[in-house]
Amino acid sequence: MTGLHFDTGRVLLLVCFGIVPLVGIALGLLAPSLRRQMPLIVAFVAGIVPILSLYIPKRFLSAAGEGMSPRLDQYLIIVAGFALPLGIVNVIQINARKVGRTEKGWVFSLVLLIGLLVMGAFGIYGAVSGAGIGFLPDGSSTPFQWMTDWLFRPLQATIFSLLAFFMASAAFRAFRARNVEATILLVAAVLVMAGRVPLFDLLAYPFPPLQPAAASLSQMMGRVTEWIMDGPNSAAQAGIIIGAALGAAAMAIRVILGIERSYLGLGKGD
């Protein structure tokens, strides 16, 4: 009986993810008006199986490594892997077109493409040669790791560091006590900013006699900040998270039941 259950899950998945898409493609070619039906069936099965596996303890549904749900998890890793090449192809297409037509900013596109190809080539070389993409046995860096450490890291850190300048400028221009709500937000923000760092210790740094009092003040501000984060912030965040989760669940049900079909990418005529 165990073998039968195991095979049931495998056969159902084969039908759903092997035969149904093929039938869908055939129908799409022969009868375009039917081509939306097959993806809906695939989406329904892919969505409903993991849910059922949580509530129905049947071997063909949820057995580790054998059931339909664990197998779907494996498929998910493969599908996620496909997303990367899809993104790479998209980036190459858009930027190669820009370079080919010498549109505005084509030099940046060229730099992007060179970076993509060089980094990708070193990664593939590491995989093919067996050297990997981290460190060599003697502790030296592989070309991929060298580029990560000396090009990618500094460039990303530089871009992100610019935020400090824009945040300071934006805070000065936008953080105004225009009404009651804005004032509450402003006061909370200043309290949290002051409480997350030893601000009073910094202010008292040139004046040693004031430092003990400054340390006490910093600690008090720290406690105020913790109260804001643990109390009002935590309550608001919990509400947002629960609301978002309910929204995601509702959207998932709409997709599983075929009510939400925008992911099919069909035009109006379809």
Partner 1 sequence: MSLFDRLLGIDRRWIFLFVVLAVTIPILAPLGLPVTTTGSTRAAFDYIESLAPGDIVWLSFDYGPSSAPENDPMAEGFLRHCFLKNVRVVVCALYPLGGLGLANASVARVAAEFPEKKYGTDYVNLGYKDGAEAVMRRLGENIEDAFPTDVNGQPISNMPIFQPKHQTIPSGDAGMGGNVAGIRTIGQFKLVFTVATGLIGEYWITLVNAQFGTPVIIGPTAVSAPKYYAFIGSGQLKGMLGGMKGAAEYEQLIARKYPQMAKFYRSTRLFTGTKGMDAQTGIHAVIILFIFLGNVAFLLGRRRQGRT
The footprint of partner 1 (CB under 8 A) covers 64-65, 70, 73-74, 76-77, 79-81, 83-84, 130, 132-135, 139, 144-145, 148-149, 152-157, 159-160, 164-165, 167-169, 171-173, 175-177, 186, 189-190, 193-194, 196-199, 201-203, 205, 215, 218-219, 222, 226, 229-230, 233-235, 237-238, 240-241
CB of 12 to partner 1, least distance (A): 19
Identity of the residue, 230 or 270, whose beta carbon is nearer to partner 1 in the bound complex: 230
| Side chain identity, residue 215 | A
Nearer to partner 1 by C-beta: 99 or 118?
118
Radius of gyration for the chain, computed over Cα atoms and rounded to the nearest angstrom? 28
The amino acid sitting at 172 is F
Distance of closest approach, residue 26 Cβ to partner 1, in angstroms: 29
**Residue of 248, 244, 246, 247 whose CA lies nearest to 236:** 244
Q: Minimum distance between the CB of residue 19 and partner 1, rounded to whole angstroms? A: 23
Partnered with residue 29 across adjacent β-strands are none
* Rounded least distance, CB 101 to partner 1, Å: 28
Instruction: Answer yes or no: are the C-beta atoms of 20 and 42 closer than 8 Å.
Output: yes
In this complex, which beta carbon is closest to partner 1, that of residue 172 or of residue 263? 172
Q: Which CB, 95 or 148, lies closer to partner 1?
A: 148
Exposure class string for 62-80: b at 16+ Cβ within 10 A, else e: bbeebbbbbbbeeeeeeee
Shortest distance in whole angstroms from residue 239 CB to partner 1: 9
